Amino acid sequence: GQPLTRLADEIAFIEKYLDIEKIRFRDRLTVGIDVDPEVVGDRVPSLILQPLVENAIRHGIEPNSRPGVLEIKARRAGDGLELTVRDNGGGVPHGGFASEGIGISNTRERLREIYGDNFRYVMENHPEGGLLVRLILPEAS
């Protein structure tokens, strides 16, 4: 019910969610979580990572038969916090996505409600393949 939570709590929640997905995908899903200890106490919107991770699995990893890789990172970015979620799926198709899904639009709207225009949400192809979603949030310790 709280709009903000500690990043450590958000990561703990997403790890539980990913434990379920690892059971479902078995050896076809590899997860890496890299959180700079300096930012674990930062405050972030609660459940901000879940829709990003769910989209990465549903649209990036699930449609492929090859092993899927999901990476989550958190680190300081200037005065703020950078959160990234990357998968090794197909990335952004040529010409972009036909529409923005509910998870993405809801995430952007929640960020706008909390931070106004003082955040960045970037979705792009990663140079090594797959989709990279980058959130840059102002400091909210």
In the chain, DSSP assigns E strands to 4-6, 29-35, 43-45, 68-77, 80-87, 120-125, 131-137
Whether the pTM exceeds 0.85: the reply is yes
pLDDT in tens, 79-99: 899 999 999 998 877 766 656
Q: Spell out a b/e string for 5-36, using b for 16 or more CB atoms within 10 Å of the CB, else e.
A: bbbbebbeebeeebeebbeebeeebebeeebe
Picking from 42, 47, 34, the residue whose alpha carbon sits closest to that of residue 2 is 47
- pLDDT of 1 above 70: no
Confidence of residue 11 (pLDDT cuts 50, 70, 90): very high
Name the nearest CA neighbour of 62 among 8, 141, 123, 131: 131
Residue 141 has pLDDT above 80, yes or no: no
Q: Which residues pair with 87 in a beta bridge?
A: 70
Average pLDDT, the chain: 91
Return d(Cα 116, Cα 24) in angstroms, integer: 37
Residue 2 in this model has a pLDDT that exceeds 80? no
Distances in whole angstroms, Cα of residue 60 to Cα of each of 23, 65, 70, 94, 95: 18, 11, 9, 15, 17
